[in-house]
Chain A
Amino acid sequence: MTWEPRPVPDVTPETRRFWRAAAEGRLLLNDCPDCGLTYFHPRALCPDCFAEAEWIESDGTGEIYTYSVVHQISGWPEEHVPVIVAYVELDEGPRLLTNVVGAEPADVGIGDRVRVTFVETENPDVAVPVFEPVSSA
């Protein structure tokens, strides 16, 4: 399965490294060497202090901070609706917007542990990070 026909990210020089890492199965965050902020989404200068940020790799684990089960999105493929749109709070701190996949909407809840996984796109240098429940087994 590829991400399309869902909309794909617009890759810019500032974000290319993030998307390429995702294509290699790694979730990157930015870390500020001056003030220590670990942040998301990627941007070259730290949004707290404007120092040049570094890239770090996230463990890709966290918990659901909030979510919505969306029943209608124009142009979305029917087999991909309903969609669980969520904010996941990573163990490193940042909350990021994403989808929760591989779970029935009724089984999802705030605080559930999740782990990143990646969906390929037609562009080999871009994959989309999404999250799936960590099985309690």
Chain B
Amino acid sequence: MARTEPVYVAGAYEHPTREAPDTSTMQLHAEVAAGALRDAGLPKDAVDGYCTAGVPEYSYAKTPLVMADYLGLDVAFADSTEFGGSSYLAHVGHAANAIRNGVCDVVLVTLAGRPRSRSQDTGTGVREMITVQDSFERIYGEMGVTNYAMAARRHMHEYGTTSEQLAAIREAASYHAQYNEHALYRDPVTVEDVLESRPIADPLHLLDCCVISDGGGAVVVVSEDVREELDRECVSVLGYGEAIGGTRAGRVDVTESAARLSGERAFADAGVSRDEIDYVSLYDSFTITVLMALEDLGFCEKGEGGSFVEGDTLKAPDGELPFNTDGGGLSSNHPGNRGGMTKIIEAVRQLRGEANDEVQVEDATLALAHGTGGRISTRHGCGTLILGREDR
């Protein structure tokens, strides 16, 4: 691709809250927007592009319009690509293209949500029939966790993957979370703890599932012209790829996600190889989501994810491929049931050398942030970003 103009993430901010009963979701959007602009050192009126998705508490409304109006933004570029939790990776990718095309210079991307304050419990779903597919799926009690559980079951059947191997992913995430003062759960958990936690959708246990948290986050994507005026260390957006997975009219393969294609596209766009990646933020709605992403993104062969994650592979700072050093969605934060934004933010922290000391990867130069939104086994959207240290 002939897109050479550099584009940067200049600001990143994760809201410290994990439970916010006395505020509104819109207020959280504003707070994270202000935080990301403050981090970048940019004034609010510099923003000329805006992206968000979901805003599920306002689903009757037009997502970008209500939020742009609430935030008081006047923009030349807007995007509300809705991939579920991975939407924000898509937004950064799309923002980078808009900037390269000269449409805008400063794109704000925000996420916020409050499912914890709304008393959503792990493994609960929605009964509404909204899409045609719902009438053929939700009537059976199908939910997000069900679909990931069915993927895990088939993966175990085809490749011999075990519950212990999936639990090792949670163990590594919780090991990182102990160093994150804002993490919802800071106590390290063992493989045995995961296996002994109550079944939600067999073979997935409670501790195979991400947390339910309120909160949000934001990033600011800027052009080269804007970056030159900033004092803040920025992170280069080197490559992006996306792909949509579905049921394929009855030919679904639940053991593979759209990450295979989004990853191929991102690596081709960035022109780097897998073994150059120092740190990965991997979408972790469930432990199986991480395992399949490792395979589909090409960090190991299909079917070898189980053995790959055993031991300390994923543990920072010395593991072969440190992941989710903030504790991820599994232990720290999954704001609004959407983990994509925090994946980008922790990758930015690693490349700036601003992760928590105990889990900072030494000389982190290249990072990958990946989102799997929606539901594997049915419809899902994957976005993969490859980010680099500014001085690389």
Contacts and interface: CB of A to CB of B under 8 A. Distances in A.
Interface of A: 3, 6-12, 14-15, 37-41, 43, 47-48, 65-76, 82-83, 85-87, 90, 93-99, 105, 110, 128, 130
> Residue among A82, A83, A87 with the most chain B CB within 10 A?
A87
B94 to A, nearest CB: 26
12 contacts: A6-B139, A8-B139, A12-B132, A15-B132, A38-B250, A41-B250, A66-B151, A68-B201, A70-B145, A87-B150, A110-B157, A128-B139
Contact of A9 (B136, B153, B203): B136
Interface string B191-225: 00000001111111000000000000000000000
Contact of A6 (B141, B143, B377): B141
Which 8 pairs show the lowest CB-CB distances between chains A and B?
A94-B250, A68-B149, A9-B135, A39-B249, A66-B154, A74-B124, A69-B202, A10-B129
Interface of B: 121, 123-125, 127, 129, 132-143, 145-146, 149-151, 153-154, 157, 198-204, 247, 249-252, 254, 377-378
Contacts of B203: 68
A83 B140 contact: yes
Nearest to B126: A74
Contacts, number: 128
A71 B200 contact: yes
B141 A99 contact: yes
Given A68-B149, A128-B139, 19 more contacts: A7-B139, A15-B132, A39-B250, A66-B150, A66-B153, A66-B254, A67-B150, A68-B146, A68-B153, A70-B200, A72-B123, A73-B125, A73-B143, A74-B127, A86-B150, A93-B251, A94-B251, A95-B251, A97-B140
A76 B249 contact: no
Contacts of A65: 154, 254
Given A66-B150, A87-B252, A97-B137, A71 B129 contact: no
Contact of B153 (A67, A98, A128): A67
B201 A71 contact: yes
Given A71-B201, A85-B146, A97-B137, A48 B249 contact: yes
Contacts of A98: 140
A93 B378 CA distance: 17
> Residue among B133, B198, B252 with the most chain A CB within 10 A?
B252
Contacts of A128: 139
> Residue among B123, B138, B140 with the most chain A CB within 10 A?
B140
A41 B247 CA distance: 9
Contact of B140 (A10, A11, A99): A99
B284 to A, nearest CB: 19
Contact of A95 (B133, B135, B137, B250): B250
A65 B377 CA distance: 12
Contact of A70 (B127, B149, B198, B252): B149
A69 B134 contact: no
A96 B250 contact: yes
A96 B201 CA distance: 19
Contacts of B137: 97
Given A41-B136, A94-B250, A71 B199 contact: yes
